Structure 1
Amino acid sequence: MVSPLSPNDSQRTVTTPDGQGWQTWQEFKSAQQEIILPAGTVAHIPVTIRYIDMGKAQQGTILLMHGIPTWGYLYHEVIPLLVQAGYRVLAPDLLGHGWSDRRDRFDRSFQDQARMITALLSALNLQQVDVVGHDTGGAVALILAIEHRNLVNRLVITNSVCYDRFDDDMLDFGHPLRWKPRPIADLVAALESSLAAGLSNPNRLTPEFRSGIIAPWASEEGKLSLIRNASALNANQTMALVDRHSTISAPTLILWGMDDPWQKSEDGMQLAREIPNAIFQAIEGASHWVQQDVPEQFSDALLEFFNNHFGSQ
């Protein structure tokens, strides 16, 4: 286990392998730290969480949350840009995702993911962060903003599960009797199709992005963990939040890649109407994997919002 560095040390800095970014997903994985959250904080057993923790907190700390079927690597081109702008950046792999604990022994509901995030922030002595959530990570971000509002300085929801719109392919993965007997190659092929369908710019489906996103799932352990993650997708969890969207007090940006075939922009627009003073910002020419489609534009939108909307950090 790598002991977390002092989160209050604003002079602490970690550089990426080439000073700008990671050349391979293996380098990104090697840069992750690891922490064991004790039994009783997240699950009845200790759970291991892997996360990126980089940069100086000169401007604050940003928490980046991915969704299904990705991991922190989704933000590999975004993180260096935010670090260069003076932020400390925390990008964990959610429970059962990426290289965090993938044992078949705990729940992976959105509420349990939120519990993991609050336990992680507590372990790192972080009292407040700017929260960015994508896909199912957006649902987790909404839980944090509603139920743990003191933790959330500013909120960004991007191409997220906000209501009851779930991708049929991901729901299909949640059928154990259908997927457990199938070879890993079938899962890999399905994931490759999903990655391609969620990008507006075909040239952004690079071999490294493809192999990096798929790597955690390309084993029997990974396949089963993805099945369990997909089994946890439940619209009751998100619809139970809708009546409380209006209680969110953090300055909020709804940032949406407009070509998304799964999380339609009308959901983002509706969410922006329901959260007080929220801003909806469209990103044209980008799809679901907006961080990969247009990483510079995505990062610029975050930084502009943070520069213009001061929270309470």
Structure 2
Amino acid sequence: MTVLRTPDDRFEKLPGYPFIPNYVDVGGLRMHYVDEGPRQSAEVVLMLHGEPTWSYLYRTMIPVVARAGYRVIAPDLIGFGRSDKVVEPDVYSYQQHVDWLTVFINALDLRSITLVCQDWGGLLGLRVAAENQERFARITASNTGLPTGDQPPSAAFLQWQQFSQTVPELPIGFIVSGGCVNKLPAEVIAAYDAPFPDESYKTAARVFPKLVPTSPGDPAAAANGAAWQTLKQWQKPFLTAFGDKDPITAGADRILQALIPGAKNQPHTTLTGGGHFIQEDKGEEWAQLIVQFIQQNQT
């Protein structure tokens, strides 16, 4: 297994990202995470990014939630951000990402977690929450879901999947900018490119789109189906806050609201003017909703 580690100087003076790096070992790989806010007796807010981003995505949300008195943990998935990057594509699977994330949560012994998830952060986070219910207190999801392959993917997703597998150079920052309503400044686009000095660092980003279950025979379909059986009995608070300008996940919020009991009577929100990367378009607004959601649903 060939492991790459992005040089630290690639992360110096990134705009809006002053956070001190923290690391934990997950199966012999170094996983990076942001850890902000009080650490003693504070409830944990776990912010999970997706494809092809990293914890930089949550940079405007982390301070809002930390100032409200919560411990904010924002990891970089293996293959992204400051975390180690395995070169061989076969190492990455849906199950392996679930396993890495589970090891991470156990290593830090995170409890009373409020899960904040978007994109692959939800595909992984919802699985992990369903499989480790005792560690999670509530969930808020944006522009995400938990596919089992029983429903055909959207045309927008299939176009993205095809693009990701055929483009000679995967333009990470350009992809993130294209998923936003608001135009990203050049220095922010560069920050999304920072973890990837060249194409050899982008294996995880390349592989992720292929791992989304698109048929019932997909390797992850059965495990996701089992997670859904748990989520259909989930009584803990569940809030959706989807952007109204995201063609990839449009309508997934209604599915979550209808099938998860804990979503009943919650103040679900459509964030007007929010694209797929809602953290860029409506980050502080979503952060305020998260704080209110926790305060209104204290255990």
TM-score range with shorter-chain normalisation? 0.7 to 0.9
C-alpha distance in 1, partners of 2:117/2:92?
16
- Quickly say closer, same or farther: Cα 1:147–1:249, change in 2 above 3 A: farther
Q: How many residues are treated as equivalent by the alignment? A: 271
Would you say the 8 A contact 1:49–1:100 is kept in 2? yes
| Aligned-residue offset at 1:55 | 1.2
Other structure's SS at 1:64 match: strand
Which structure would you say has the larger RCO, counting Cα contacts within 8 Å and 6 or more residues apart? Answer: 2
- Quickly say closer, same or farther: Cα 1:24–1:207, change in 2 above 3 A: farther
Other structure's SS at 1:34 match: strand
| Aligned-residue offset at 1:169 | 4.9
| Aligned-residue offset at 1:216 | 2.1
| Aligned-residue offset at 1:66 | 0.4
What's the TM-score once normalised by structure 1's chain length?
0.78
Would you say the 8 A contact 1:109–1:233 is kept in 2? no
1:70-106 CA distance string (max 9 Å, x none):
0111001111111111111110011222221211356
**Hey, what does 2:162 align to over in structure 1?**
172
Would you say the 8 A contact 1:162–1:271 is kept in 2? no
Would you say the 8 A contact 2:143–2:242 is kept in 1? yes
Would you say the 8 A contact 1:111–1:143 is kept in 2? no
1:227-257 CA distance string (max 9 Å, x none):
2333333344366244443022321111111
C-alpha distance in 1, partners of 2:121/2:203?
20
**Hey, what does 1:48 align to over in structure 2?**
30
**Identity of counterpart residues, as a percentage?**
25
AA aligned to 2:179 is G
**Hey, what does 1:6 align to over in structure 2?**
none
**Hey, what does 1:196 align to over in structure 2?**
177
5+ residue gaps in structure 2? 1-10
C-alpha distance in 1, partners of 2:91/2:228?
22
C-alpha distance in 1, partners of 2:292/2:113?
17
- Quickly say closer, same or farther: Cα 1:24–1:298, change in 2 above 3 A: farther
Picking from 147, 150, 158, the partner of 2:131 is: 147
5+ residue gaps in structure 1? 1-21, 39-45
Bigger drift between 109-118 and 143-152 goes to 109-118
- Quickly say closer, same or farther: Cα 1:161–1:193, change in 2 above 3 A: farther
1:19-78 CA distance string (max 9 Å, x none):
xxx99437848722122224xxxxxxx121011111104641111000001011100111
**Mapped pair 1:104 → 2:92:** no
C-alpha distance in 1, partners of 2:79/2:273?
31
Bigger drift between 103-112 and 302-311 goes to 103-112
| Aligned-residue offset at 1:213 | 1.5
C-alpha distance in 1, partners of 2:213/2:196?
21
C-alpha distance in 1, partners of 2:143/2:228?
17
What's the TM-score once normalised by structure 2's chain length?
0.81
1:85-142 CA distance string (max 9 Å, x none):
1111110011222221211356433332222222112212323311111101111121
Would you say the 8 A contact 2:173–2:191 is kept in 1? no
Would you say the 8 A contact 2:236–2:262 is kept in 1? no
Picking from 242, 255, 259, the partner of 1:270 is: 255
**Hey, what does 1:31 align to over in structure 2?**
20
| Aligned-residue offset at 1:218 | 4.2
C-alpha distance in 1, partners of 2:98/2:248?
23
**Hey, what does 1:209 align to over in structure 2?**
188
**Hey, what does 2:241 align to over in structure 1?**
255
**Hey, what does 1:12 align to over in structure 2?**
none
